[in-house]
Amino acid sequence: MHSSTFTAKIDLSLVEKLLSDLPQQGFEMTRPTYTIFSAKKKGVNCTLYESGNLVVQGKDMQEFIEFYLEPEILKGFQFTHPEATLNLTPHIGLDEAGKGDFFGPLCIGSVFAGGDDILKLHQMGVKDSKRFSDESILKLARKIRASYPYVVIRLFPQKYNELYGRFKNLNRLLGWAHAAALGDLSEKTQCKKAILDQFAEKHVVETALKQKRIDVELEQRVRGEEDLVVAAASILARAGFLEGLEKLSQEYGCVLPKGAATIVIDTGVKLVEKFGLEILDKVAKTHFKTRTDILSRLPQE
């Protein structure tokens, strides 16, 4: 819950902009002692002191802060998005989805943005994909894909299982896939800076980048989705997973559930009974223990 008062330090070079913008938004302007101005309208009081401190109060202040003050004046999100890492330097963000789901593809999302385009991600409502419903993810992904350079690598189960057989390790497979997405988007945008939501020891991805001869300054960060560009990548990765899962569900006439719980095992048993054991290689990540659980539920010959 937000405080009833918000205070921020303002660059005084922006005073003229504020004095121009605020009356257009319906504020009445006065100048009490020790202030540069005081602006009031129904639900919002806004006072800028000679020290450069701006104080905002009122029951309707959140909308004013979120849609005007932060993107236009503060260039930051300390009120509405305090967990965000405000990094306006142009960079690529990377994240993955589907690695813990038995059914469906593994997806790597990568997005490029910088400067005002990062602020637009905030205005779009972008944050960590885990905080959205599936429907919201798909809507936001469409907006991001329409406005930003991106690369999504989607490994459907047959390809995923083939690669897992080669790497024998999920983190090394993920490292290879992240390096591939980063290399493609770096080449497309000429961007040499990237942030990755860290999923393993740093050397895993660093080794993959060296093997592919990709020269990028990569920061691997725990809770990387706090960076808005990484959050956008997480949304594209999640949307790619959801769309891939739906494609497989339609192809085999069966709703494939997310995760790896009991309902997943039940669905796997039904699929094997209908299509035979080879169906799992087409719809699922077969190195999961879930495969053994499904096999144990089948009638023994």
pLDDT digits (tens, 9 = 90+) for 84-107: 446 789 999 999 999 999 999 999
3 has a pLDDT exceeding 50: yes
80 has a pLDDT exceeding 70: no
Query: Mean pLDDT of all residues in the chain?
Result: 91
In this prediction, residues 5-33 reach a mean pLDDT of 93
Measuring CA to CA, how many Å separate 109 from each of 53, 73, 92, 220, 239? 40, 31, 10, 15, 9
Question: pLDDT value at position 82?
Answer: 55
Question: pLDDT value at position 63?
Answer: 87
- Sketch the domain layout of the chain as residue ranges: 5-74, 91-247, 249-297
- Give 5-74's CATH code, choosing from 3.20.20.30, 3.30.310.10, 3.10.20.740, 3.40.718.10: 3.30.310.10
Q: Does domain 91-247 have CATH number 3.90.1150.10?
A: no
Q: What is the pLDDT of residues 166-180, one digit of tens each?
A: 999 999 999 999 999
165 has a pLDDT exceeding 80: yes
DSSP 47: E
**CA-wise closest residue to 283 among 299, 267, 297, 298:** 267
Q: Which residues contact 36 (CB under 8 A, 6 or more apart)?
A: 12, 15, 48, 49, 50
Question: pLDDT value at position 300?
Answer: 72
**CA-wise closest residue to 105 among 175, 166, 152:** 152
Residues of the chain above pLDDT 70, percent:
95
Question: pLDDT value at position 85?
Answer: 46
Say if residues 57 and 4 touch (Cβ distance below 8 Å): yes
Q: What is the pLDDT of residues 183-236, one digit of tens each?
A: 999 999 999 999 999 988 999 999 999 999 999 999 999 888 889 999 999 999
Phi/psi of residue 58, each to 5°? 120, 155
68 has a pLDDT exceeding 80: yes
Question: pLDDT value at position 70?
Answer: 83
Which letter, b or e, does each residue of 8-19 get, where b requires 16 or more Cβ atoms within 10 Å of its Cβ? Answer: bebeeebeeebe
Please state, in angstroms and rounded to a whole number, the distance separating the CA atoms of residues 156 and 160: 6
Please tell me if the domain spanning 5-74 has the same topology as the one spanning 91-247: no
78 has a pLDDT exceeding 70: no
290 has a pLDDT exceeding 50: yes
Residue carrying the six token digits 């919002």: 44
Q: What is the pTM for the complete model shown? A: 0.74
77 has a pLDDT exceeding 70: no
Please state, in angstroms and rounded to a whole number, the distance separating the CA atoms of residues 49 and 31: 10
In this prediction, residues 47-67 reach a mean pLDDT of 90
Question: pLDDT value at position 2?
Answer: 53
265 has a pLDDT exceeding 90: yes
